[in-house]
Amino acid sequence: MKNQGIPHDEFEGKPVIGICNTWSELTPCNAHFRELAEFVKRGVWEAGGFPLEFPVMSLGETLIKPTAMLYRNLASMDAEESIRANPLDGVVLMGGCDKTTPSILMGACSVDLPSIFISGGPMLNGQFRGKQIATSDVWRFDEAHRRGEITDDQLIEAEACMGRSRGHCAVMGTASTMACMIESLGLALPQNAAIPAVDSRRRTQAHLTGRRIVEMVKEDLTLSKVLTRRAFENSIMVNAAIGGSTNFVIHLTAIAGRIGVDLDLTDFDKFSENIPLVANIQPSGQYMMEEFYYAGGLPAVMKELKGHIHTDIITVNGKTVDDNVSKAECFNADVISPVDKPFKEVSGIAVVKGNLCENGAVIKPSAATPELMTHKGRAVVFEDIEDYKSRINLPDLDVDENCILVLKNVGPKGYPGMPEVGNMGMPKKLLDKGVTDMVRVSDGRMSGTAYGTVFLHVSPESAAGGTLAIVQNGDIIEADVPNRKLTLHVSDEEIADRKKSWKVPNLGFDRGYVNLYINTVEQADKGADLDFLKGKSSSEVLRDSH
Ligand code: FES
């Protein structure tokens, strides 16, 4: 410590605060975190603590292959062991891009020190040729590009117009969903979720977060005191009201598993019920996170939900939810609607079950086509993502708008890592006809920025021998979201017969982390954590060689 020029009395008897930083230039959404951490340090020093920033594995959605999700659990191990092994009294967690938030929170939960979160904040709205754009437009531009409606140059120009400031994706994609999850769980100061990354109030938030963690250490306000079952229920209700990403289900389940709260897939349906969509934000609505903040942000949403959520539970600032949200105001009812006059009645995550997904699958109704929520159609099957890519644009693909696209082997074990390909792009021949949505089923995930009538996270997945593995072209599948059913109309005998000739796919990963992952990852309905990482083992270090 002294070789860093730190005076002796700086660490004598002061709370040592770790700043767990997911900064990386390979994670563009978090590239401003070194600077943001300086503001956290100001607050820690001011409050009489001693801050020490440390790096952990950073997971950027845009660059990491085959998918950042493959490494979420690895990054969580890095965070957990770094927090436990070092002499820290409290931790400030800094996340932004999708997986950087759940990974470090999962790790921190397994240690259970006093911990507080500061998110990096969303980008400003993109501006493209007089139009506001954000990440959900990537999918629209891609389809327009495939139809020949925009040129290569326009696509490249649109990218620069979209990513015009620091911060993470500006829609209610997974990063914003995770930031809202953090705030609704009570793990950050109010307004953490939506202050834009470039807004000076993001720095103020960082400063105040640094101040607060020192007090939390003195109060011994550990994560498990905030993360009660009722905090998780609040988060599910808030996620429904904001139209949060389907990835929320997997990450929240994994976090619950670490802290020791019992959470079942059906809880997501149960607690979303009766919660309307109040946030008019893309991809379910029209606006972006910037307008969401100006309209009042998450406290304004939570105030609207006061008749539903638990308001007496404690949050990291030492106040209750009620204290934090009761004075919140909404400044634009078009962006955050009143709960009794909601933007949309349909919200949340619907959990379906049936012989095609015995342990469940999920769909986001607010991003789907209402007429397709009950639909029966002929399966058009792709055995894996390579098969899909090689055939989806063929003019002679045997598909029409009533068919159901099925994609196998993109689950946790199957890809491996469960990539965001479940919202498979539409067949070109249907796009050319002007069809914009159809029913799709897979064991993969979908980007929080995407939309469509897409059943995801089918469990058990095909690579684990789930029924999805034996679906054949021409089989009839019936989706019935109102009754929470997803059914393969093939007899039990025929399913059993087909399963006899099914073989475990050999993906050829015989060493290293990926091998460990394939052999220990749990299914999507359990949060896709590694089975041996569940639970927590305190901050105690049992042996000391110093
Ligand atoms: Fe990082 Fe979207 S790419 S949040």
Owner of token pair 């389907």? 246
Instruction: Report the alpha-carbon distance of residue 406 to residue 360 in Å, rounded.
Output: 16
Instruction: Report the alpha-carbon distance of residue 495 to residue 493 in Å, rounded.
Output: 5
Taking the CA of residue 135 as reference, the ligand 1 atom at the shortest distance is 2
How crowded is residue 225: how many other Cβ atoms within 10 Å of its Cβ? 17
Type and span of the H or E element at 454: strand 454-459
How crowded is residue 491: how many other Cβ atoms within 10 Å of its Cβ? 10
> Is the CB of residue 137 less than 8 Å from the CB of residue 162?
yes
The whole-number pLDDT of residue 10 equals: 85
Taking the CA of residue 61 as reference, the ligand 1 atom at the shortest distance is 3
User: Which residue's CA is the nearest one to ligand 1's atom 1?
Assistant: 97
The whole-number pLDDT of residue 134 equals: 87
Q: What share of the chain is helix, strand, coil (3-state, %, to 5)?
A: 40, 15, 45
Instruction: Report the alpha-carbon distance of residue 20 to residue 31 in Å, rounded.
Output: 14
DSSP character for 277? B
> Is the CB of residue 365 less than 8 Å from the CB of residue 341?
no
> Is the CB of residue 300 less than 8 Å from the CB of residue 330?
yes
How crowded is residue 307: how many other Cβ atoms within 10 Å of its Cβ? 9
Tokens of 150: 């925009």
The whole-number pLDDT of residue 139 equals: 80
From the list 193, 256, 249, the residue with the least C-alpha distance to 224 is 256
Q: Supply the DSSP string of 302-341, one letter for each residue.
A: HHHTTTTS--S-B-TTSSBHHHHHTT---S-TTTB--TTS
Would the CB of 168 count as within 6 Å of ligand 1? yes
Tokens of 280: 């008019």
User: Which residue's CA is the nearest one to ligand 1's atom 3?
Assistant: 61
Taking the CA of residue 174 as reference, the ligand 1 atom at the shortest distance is 4
Instruction: Report the alpha-carbon distance of residue 184 to residue 235 in Å, rounded.
Output: 5
The best mutation among 27, 30, 59, 61 to test binding of ligand 1, ranked by most ligand atoms within 8 Å of the C-beta, falls on 61
From the list 250, 268, 252, 251, the residue with the least C-alpha distance to 443 is 250
The whole-number pLDDT of residue 317 equals: 98
**128 has which bridge partners?**
131
pTM, whole model, 2 decimals?
Answer: 0.96
The whole-number pLDDT of residue 63 equals: 95
User: Which residue's CA is the nearest one to ligand 1's atom 2?
Assistant: 169
Question: What distance in angstroms lies between residue 28's CA and the mean position of ligand 1's atoms?
Answer: 8
Would the CB of 89 count as within 6 Å of ligand 1? no
From the list 136, 135, 91, the residue with the least C-alpha distance to 113 is 91
The best mutation among 97, 165, 180, 446 to test binding of ligand 1, ranked by most ligand atoms within 8 Å of the C-beta, falls on 97
The whole-number pLDDT of residue 57 equals: 98
Would the CB of 98 count as within 6 Å of ligand 1? yes
The whole-number pLDDT of residue 144 equals: 86
* Amino acid found at 199: D
How many alpha carbons fall within 13 Å on the CB side of residue 501?
6
Would the CB of 233 count as within 6 Å of ligand 1? no
Question: Measured at the alpha carbon of residue 55, what is the angle toward residues 54 and 61, in degrees to the nearest 5?
Answer: 150
The whole-number pLDDT of residue 347 equals: 86
The best mutation among 69, 98, 178 to test binding of ligand 1, ranked by most ligand atoms within 8 Å of the C-beta, falls on 98
The whole-number pLDDT of residue 372 equals: 97
From the list 360, 382, 389, 353, the residue with the least C-alpha distance to 486 is 353
Instruction: Report the alpha-carbon distance of residue 144 to residue 151 in Å, rounded.
Output: 9
Tokens of 377: 């159609």
Tens digits of pLDDT across the chain (546 residues): 889 999 988 878 999 999 999 999 999 999 999 999 999 999 999 999 999 999 999 999 999 999 999 999 999 999 999 999 999 999 999 999 999 999 999 999 999 999 999 999 999 999 999 999 988 888 888 888 888 899 999 999 999 999 999 999 999 999 999 999 999 999 999 999 999 999 999 999 999 999 999 999 999 999 999 999 999 999 999 999 999 999 999 999 999 999 999 999 999 999 998 999 999 999 889 999 999 999 999 999 999 999 999 999 999 999 999 999 999 999 999 999 999 999 999 888 999 999 999 999 999 998 899 999 999 999 999 999 999 999 999 999 999 999 999 999 999 999 999 999 998 989 999 998 999 899 999 999 998 878 899 999 999 999 999 999 999 999 999 999 999 999 999 999 999 999 999 998 888 888 999 999 999 999 999 999 999 999 999 999 988 877
The whole-number pLDDT of residue 348 equals: 83
Alpha-carbon separation of residue 321 from 85, 178, 218, 229, 335 (angstroms): 33, 18, 21, 15, 22
Chain centroid, CA 496 distance in Å: 35
Question: What distance in angstroms lies between residue 512's CA and the mean position of ligand 1's atoms?
Answer: 27
Residues contacting 241, CB < 8 A, separation 6+: 275, 276, 277, 278, 279, 301, 304, 305, 339, 347
